[in-house]
Amino acid sequence: SSKIRNRDVQSADDVAVLEDCIDFSLAKTISQTEDKLQKGGLPDCLGDDIIPSVGNEIRAEAQIRLLKAKLRVMQEELDSVVCECRKKDDENQNLKSQLRDAEEEKSRLQQTISVQHSQTEKYKLLSQEANKKSEGLQQEVVALEKVLR
């Protein structure tokens, strides 16, 4: 970016300015084209790019400067878009990493839940067995109390 700015500053004299094209008038060109259309004749350059038709009125040097200026602007826009794409790619990679981490955490938590669920089932069975054993022992205590009386 700084290199581009330095290049722009150094070659600012290459930029087409209004003074370079004093003979050029957009209104005059449009008027001439409209006159030709009204007379029934089409302009010679209708299928061509607009620059060649303007090129007859702008010196070749000024036209080259204009194209260079357009090229620099387009290059700056391209650099800006490339920079934005890189930022989006970085953000995308960051989000992918976060997603991968979240999926790993989800998997780990599901394993923990599964282990805790199996432990809960195991303790329920142990509790049921302990309750049955307790009932059996209580019945035995009642029977022994009857024997002792």
Supply the pTM of this predicted model: 0.44
For the chain, the domain total comes to 1
Q: Residue 38: inside a domain, yes or no?
A: no
Task: Find the domain containing 63 and state its range.
Answer: 55-148
In angstroms, rounded to a whole number, what is the distance separating the alpha carbons of residues 72 and 78?
10
Q: What is the pLDDT of residues 10-44, one digit of tens each?
A: 444 444 444 444 444 555 666 666 666 566 554 45
For 8-22, 52-66, 83-97, 114-128, which range has the lowest pLDDT when averaged over its residues? 8-22
In a domain, 68, yes or no: yes
Are 4 and 79 within 8 A, CB to CB? yes
In a domain, residue 119? The reply is yes
Structure-token match 């970016």, residue found: 1
- Decide: 8 and 72 in contact? Cβ < 8 Å: yes
Confirm whether 36 is domain-assigned.
no
Residue 62 in tokens: 């000024």
